[in-house]
Structure formats: C-alpha cells, structure tokens
Chains A and B, each alone.
Chain A
Amino acid sequence: MRGGEAIIESLKKMGVETIFGYPGGQTIPFYDMLYDADIDHILVRHEQAAAHAADGFARASGKVGVCLATSGPGATNLVTGIATSYMDSSPIVAITGQVPTHLIGNDAFQEADIMGITMPIVKHSFQPKDPDLIPSIIKTSFDIAASGRPGPVLIDVPKEVQEGELTSFDDNLIQIPGYKPTLKGNPRQIKKACELIKQAKRPLVLAGAGVILADACSEFNEFVHLINAPVMTSLLGKGAINEKDELALGMLGMHGRKVSNDSVNECDLLIAIGIRFSDRTTGRLDSFVPDSKVIHIDIDPAEIGKNVDVDLPIVGDAKNILNSLNNLFKGYKASNEVNAWTDKIKQRKIDLLPRVTYDDVPLKPQSVIKEISEVLTPESILTTDVGQNQMWAAHFYDTQKPRKFISSGGLGTMGFGFPSAIGAKVACPQDPVVSINGDGGFLMVCQELATVYDYDLPVIAVVLENRTLGMVYQWQSLLYNERHSETKFKDSPDFVKLAESFGINAVRVEKPGETKDVLKTAIKDNEAILIDIVIDSEESLPMLPPGAGINEMIGEYKLEKDVI
C-alpha cells in the first residue's frame, strides 16, 4: 500500500464518505489512487470553497469535514477557510500536497510553507515524512479535530510520501501526551453552581456554539426549563434552543434582539455555556452584566476569565456538566421570584418582537426572511454569508433545531454562505438547504454554481441584492456622515443569466409573496435554484456602535406590534 492509498484507507476507517477538493501538481499521485477508490470526491472550483464546504459539512453533521488542495497556491487558498473553522471551533481536516521532501526549502515550484503559514489558525498540524506514519497521523488528526474544543487540523503530505510504500498499516504509532482535554466538570464546582442558581432571583442563560458542538441541546433544554430561566444565544448558539420556545429570547449582541440586549444587564446571575464572550456578543465589557454573578461553563480553560470576569468557572464538556446539573435539579421548582422575573421577560419578548411584516417595494429584507421562515421546516438548514444578510437572517429567522443555522461568526468570512451550503447539503441530503447571501459575498464564490450543477446538488441560493456592500454601507450611513466610500456598485450582474449560464435555474423576485412561492416550488422540485431578491438598499439594522454598552443600540428598532 502506498501513502496516498493509506490516506484513503485511513479516511474510510474514520467514516469519511465524501471529501471536497481541487487537484494540482503535488497531489497528482493521490488523485491517481483516488481514481479507483470508493470514496466520493466533490470537485469545487476554488480551494477556499473546499474548506468552507468541509466546514459546512462538519457544522451540519457534527462529523469531521475533509478538504484537499495541492501545494503552494492551492494550500494558501485554503487559508481563509481554515481560519474560519478555527475561529468557530469547527472540526475539519485539511490535507495539502507538498513538494517532495528533498525540495522543501528550495523555493521549488508551487512550494509554500503551509505548516508555517497556518500555525496560528490550526489546532494542530502534521507533515508526514514517512508513509508508515500516515494511518496514525490521520487517526490522530481526526481525534484532535473532533475532541475537546474542536478545530481544524492540517496534514501536509510531500509528494514522494504519497507515492512511497508502507511497510505496514499501523495507526497507533503516534502518542500525544500533551493533549488531554478536560471533559468532566469538577463536581464541587457543579454543586456550587447549583447553589448560586438556587439563590438567584433574576437568572439568565447565555448559550454559545459549545452547547451545539457538545451535542448537549436536549440536556440544555431540560436544564433551562428545570430552572425556568430565559435564554439568550450568541450568533453561533442559534439552534441550541428552539427559538420558538417561550424561554428563548434570541440573539444577544451588536445586532441582537432588543429583548436580549435590554434585559441582559438586569440579571443577577448569568449562566454562560459554551461561549467565549466575543466583543460582538458582549459590547463594551465594563458595562456588561455589571451587577450580576457569572457562571461560565466551557471546555476550553483559556476562555474562562479571558474577556469576562467569572465568579464560578466549570471547565468541561457541556453535555456532561448539564447532565450533572439536571440530576441535581431533578424535581426542582423555581422560586416565585424567579417565576415572576421569567414571566416578565417572556412578556417583554412578545412586546419587543421585531417587525417583519412589510409590503414595501423594493422589498424589505425583514419580510423576505419572514417569507423564508414560513416555508422552511425545522429540519431545513439555513447558511448565511457575512454582513447585513447574515444579521437579518440571524435576527429574524427562528432556528428550531441545532446544526440548522450555519454562519461564519468569529472570522466573519464573506463568501462562506454558498460553499458551506454545498457541504451542508452533502451532509444532510434529505433536508432543504438554503443559503442567504448578499450580492457582494455571493460574487466572491459564484463559481461554485458549477459545483452545484456538476453534482446535481439541490442547494437553494438566495441573493439579497441591494447593490451595496450593505454592512459597511450601513456603518458609513450611521457613523461616517453618509460618506459611502467604495460600497456602492454601479450595478449588479444579471444574477439570473449568471446562474443560467451554469445550467442552474434562477428567478428574480421583486414583490411581496414571490419569495415564498418560488422557495416552495424549489423545495418541492428538489432542484438547485438561485433566487435573486431585489431589496431596499437603504434598509439597515439597529446596532451597537463600537465601544457602546450592550443596551445602547442606535437606529430605530421597529416592532411587530406597531404594524397597523
């Protein structure tokens, strides 16, 4: 067995059925061996899309996503995708070809020090110099990527290692004594948390992606109902709780739901789970929950106390810890004070529901998201790009299940939405997959329409067309005297013709109600489609200006109850 075959065998052993990649000079041996292998390969049209697709696959399935690129430019094109998954703790394994070992360091053709380049954005990386090590390296990479706080692992395989013969297939040649994530929460800390929760009069829960990554959503749901505390989430925490649940207030943060941003500083106990308190979630730190105690549960000890001072940390896996907490709270009845507080917040949620009903032309993005919400089932997957489209989706779309809202949070990568939807569709072929994009971000990755066509992947690409780079445009409108520097396009391409040139159906939508009809038909027909939706370019979203506290939003927050 040769090195490349060992990669394929090892991937299969890890349960991998599909990889996303793009061949090149230094991966020709691998691709030759792939030719006869029974593992699916999706040929993307740009390596960055391979990384995003692997990431989307991982987020939708909970399994490790795999992407592949050649050395040099192929590898550097993966960098944005690897950084995206690193920031959002998404488990991917990125395999790159490398020039033959004897040429490394010689500035050989298509040589790049991808190990060095990616060092700050991977959880770990390997460069096998001996084919015998490949099975162990792949196994260890999957273990590192998926366990503890998940993240990307890079494997850089020199060309001759892909071709070299293994003396034997042994995947236990590598030990990693320095890697031992803490999974079980300290029982004493858990007991103390229990006491703090019982003493609290105005508890709030803040859930991040960690709850979803730990596959702890049902335990989480049980927990918040046991203690009857309202729940906010971060952007990536969307789906940790069914957002139609009365306890779910919605997203907290720079573009958060008014009910969450207004209420967070009123709590006397914040229970934060699987979250890293990003500046986009907390706003100005010194005015964030000033009068509240904080319990912070996270698997990464380095997140404890990094941004927000914590009264009670519990390091460990959210599922384990929530299970222990639920056992301690079995049969527990929340105090009258807590019930009164929670009732008040529940009512506030209803009073402050954001306005989504509009019949304006050009369309308001809020009403577009509303129409999409009305068609999609709880199982449907929504991926977003980055910018206004992302915040509209996050703000106005109620995510009902975990792993059904996929978005680039930490890195905020434009061009993530569409390729991540390809990965999500491969992971969940039975579920409708809709990607919400702006016209800016979509053009960064529109070549992937070819991938969708080639593999007959029924991905629905929504393009919210406002002919601006909306989020920056909005900042310029609100904070820079309407000096719209380089954020207005002269015009957009004809997205319908663009899609059709790839063999993908497309429809242009301009009026209320049309989005709903087109989407319904697309889901029923189970075909790829691009829906180009022309929206009001002046519409903006209330926001926290930089340096502001969480409850100091600017911009008018229109309410649904005010709709006449």
Chain B
Amino acid sequence: MEEEYHIISTLVENRPGVLQKIAGLFTRRDFNIEGITVGKSETKGLARMVITVKADEKILEQVTKQLNKLVDVIKIKDITKNAVKRELCLIKVSTASEVERAEILQYSNIFRAQIIDVSEETLIVEITGDGDKINAFISLLERFGIRKISRTGITAMSRGI
C-alpha cells in the first residue's frame, strides 16, 4: 500500500500531558508523525490538534483507532481530502543594503507576507500559506542570507459545514 500524507483533526481534552500521550502513542506504535499543531478550540476545556501523518491506508486506520482509544481524545476526523491548510512561518533575513531591503519588501508584497520586525541588519518576515508557498518564498530569500526560520507546521480545517 502506498504511503500518503494525511491530515487528522483531533478534538482533545485540554489537560497537561495530552500532547505527550499523543506524541508517545505515535512513537510507541512506530507511526510516522510529520507535524502536529495544538491550540484551544471553540469549546472551553477542549483543544484541537491537527496532526499530519505519512501512512498507508492500513496504518492510517490504526492511527485513527489507537488515537480514539485514548480517554482524552474526544473526536477524530481525517480531513485530508477537504481541508484548507495553512502554516505560519517567521523568517529572519539579512539585509546588506537598501537595495536588498527593497527587494525583500517587493517579494513580501507579492507573497502577501508581512515585515514584523526591522533592525539595521535584519528583517523578520511573517508568511502564511500552504507548505509549497512557504517553501517557494524561503528559496527566494535564500540569496540574501537567512539567519533563522521558525515554522508552526500545518494547521487545517475542513471546508463547508
């Protein structure tokens, strides 16, 4: 069976240790976790985790079922086929000259990225999008000298109701 990326949206109890339990489950069962994002959900006391896994159908079924067995997990949905995916990325880039600075600003406009910090020698650019868009933007900035990259990993939501 072929391995593919799947995005699983999981509603969990917002308690200490839950992230550890889920991450531990992936390690223990040798599931290939690509990314995980966590934050409060629309319901008080519950958090939403968006987990990206690389798995074939059989493993994916195990991932879902094993997650479901955790008492702290309330609901699980594979939203791969019908999801809006977004990732946020912060990039600190060197700016050697005024010309370079202007160039970076131009690229940022095109990619709808924002400059969120300016110093004499660096800029921090914030960009949101899917992975491909962010990768493309990073490769454009590479020649200026990237000092730091910080990515959140993918969060996602299913379209419509």
Q: Which residues of A come within 8 Å of B, CB atoms?
A: 115-116, 119-120, 123-124, 144, 176-179, 300-302, 304-306
Contact = CB atoms under 8 A, between A and B. Distances in A.
Given A178-B70, A302-B65, A302-B68, 9 more contacts: A116-B17, A119-B17, A119-B24, A123-B71, A176-B71, A178-B12, A178-B72, A178-B74, A306-B62
B28 A120 contact: yes
Nearest to A144: B71
A400 to B, nearest CB: 34
Nearest 4 CB-CB pairings of A with B: A302-B65, A178-B74, A124-B71, A179-B71
B4 interface: no
A304 B62 CA distance: 9
Contacts of B61: 305
Nearest to A115: B17
Contacts of A179: 71
B126 interface: no
Interface string B1-27: 000000000001100010011001100
Nearest to A176: B71
B74 A177 contact: yes
B69 interface: yes
A178 B58 contact: no
Given A301-B65, A302-B66, A178 B20 contact: no
Contacts of B69: 300, 302
Contacts of A119: 17, 20-21, 24
A178 B73 contact: yes
Contacts, number: 35
Nearest to B64: A302
A341 to B, nearest CB: 32
Interface string B29-65: 0000000000000000000000000000010011001
Contacts of B25: 120
Nearest to B63: A302
Contact of B24 (A120, A124, A178, A301): A120
A305 B13 CA distance: 28
Contacts of B58: 305
28 contacts: A116-B20, A119-B17, A119-B20, A119-B21, A119-B24, A120-B24, A120-B25, A120-B28, A123-B71, A124-B71, A176-B71, A177-B74, A178-B12, A178-B13, A178-B70, A178-B71, A178-B72, A178-B74, A179-B71, A300-B69, A301-B65, A301-B68, A302-B62, A302-B66, A302-B68, A302-B69, A305-B58, A305-B61
A119 B12 CA distance: 16
Nearest to A300: B69
Nearest to A140: B71
Contacts of A115: 17
Nearest to A149: B69
A502 to B, nearest CB: 40
B73 to A, nearest CB: 5
A285 to B, nearest CB: 13
A181 to B, nearest CB: 9
Contacts of A305: 58, 61
Nearest to B76: A178
A115 to B, nearest CB: 7
Nearest to A151: B69
A296 to B, nearest CB: 13
B68 to A, nearest CB: 7
B59 to A, nearest CB: 10
Contacts of B17: 115-116, 119
A441 to B, nearest CB: 27
Nearest to A181: B69
Contacts of A302: 62, 65-66, 68-69
Interface string B65-88: 110111111100000000000000
Contacts of A300: 69
A305 to B, nearest CB: 7
Nearest to A123: B71
A152 B158 CA distance: 36
Contacts of B73: 178
A178 B45 CA distance: 13
Nearest to B61: A305
Nearest to A179: B71
Nearest to A306: B62
A32 B13 CA distance: 35
A377 B58 CA distance: 46
Contacts of B24: 119-120
Contacts of B71: 123-124, 144, 176, 178-179
B26 to A, nearest CB: 11
A374 to B, nearest CB: 44
A179 to B, nearest CB: 5
A314 B142 CA distance: 55
A303 to B, nearest CB: 9
B35 to A, nearest CB: 21
Contacts of B70: 178
A119 B70 CA distance: 11
Interface string B132-143: 000000000000
Nearest to A177: B74
A179 B70 CA distance: 8
A305 B64 CA distance: 13
A46 B69 CA distance: 32
Contacts of A120: 24-25, 28
A516 to B, nearest CB: 46
A302 B61 CA distance: 8
A105 to B, nearest CB: 12
Which of A124, A176, A178 has the largest count of B CB atoms less than 10 A from its CB?
A178
B134 to A, nearest CB: 33
A178 B28 CA distance: 21
Nearest to B75: A178
B126 to A, nearest CB: 34
Nearest to B25: A120
B148 to A, nearest CB: 30
B111 to A, nearest CB: 40
B62 to A, nearest CB: 6
B69 to A, nearest CB: 6
B155 to A, nearest CB: 21
Contacts of B66: 302
Nearest to B73: A178
A119 B26 CA distance: 12
A276 to B, nearest CB: 13
A124 B72 CA distance: 9
